[in-house]
């Protein structure tokens, strides 16, 4: 069974890798290699060799320039590789969260792709969830259960969004979804 899973994973990786651009393939391999303990050991080794060669070169400006230039170039390139890896990981996490929301009956589909909505809508959603958290903490303080799927009291329509539909992201965190 373990071999079948590994074969399926390799097949999935190969299919995904064949669709990836050369940069994406390079970035994935580079991030994996540079995140390896061996890569750290090589970097420390290069620095030790550089330090040991100092007396041979009289600790000259050129000797110092070599390490400064090398580290600057490597750092500059690694910024882009790390950012690419973080972007890819964030997208994958968001897609996984979106799938959990989509497949959970009691979840609010308005939260799908929530990372793409405006800051003001995110703030309103955060306020709704903050209200749920305050109520739950109060229940715990009184010795009651904080579990379940409580409903938020409908809030008055704001002046800036008087026509907000009840199933919009503004109402996420409340049980308004699907109710007319």
**pLDDT surpasses 50 at 43:** yes
Q: What is the pLDDT of residues 90-101, one digit of tens each?
A: 999 999 999 998
User: Where exactly are the structural domains of the chain?
Assistant: 21-103, 112-171
Q: Say how far apart CA 59 and CA 82 lie, in whole Å.
A: 33
Contacts for 34 with CB less than 8 Å, ≥ 6 apart: 78, 81
Dihedral Cα 45, 49, 50, 52, nearest 10 deg:
140
* % of the chain residues with pLDDT over 90: 51
**pLDDT surpasses 90 at 56:** yes
């Amino acid at each position: 069974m373990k071999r079948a899973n590994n074969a399926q994973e390799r097949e999935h990786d190969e299919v995904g890798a064949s669709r990836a651009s050369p940069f994406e393939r390079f970035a994935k391999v580079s991030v994996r290699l540079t995140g390896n303990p061996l890569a750290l050991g090589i970097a420390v080794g290069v620095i030790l060799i550089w330090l040991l060669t100092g007396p041979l070169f009289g600790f000259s400006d050129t000797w110092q320039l070599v390490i400064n230039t090398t580290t600057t170039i490597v750092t500059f390139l690694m910024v882009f590789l790390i950012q690419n890896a973080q972007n890819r990981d964030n997208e994958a996490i968001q897609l996984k969260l979106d799938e959990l929301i989509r497949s959970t009956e009691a979840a609010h589909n308005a939260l799908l792709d929530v990372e793409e909505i405006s800051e003001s809508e995110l703030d309103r959603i955060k306020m709704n969830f903050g209200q749920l958290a305050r109520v739950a903490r109060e229940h715990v303080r009184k010795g009651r259960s904080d579990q379940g799927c409580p409903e938020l009291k409908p809030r008055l329509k704001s002046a800036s969004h008087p026509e907000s539909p009840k199933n919009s992201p503004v109402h996420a965190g409340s049980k308004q979804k699907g109710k007319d």
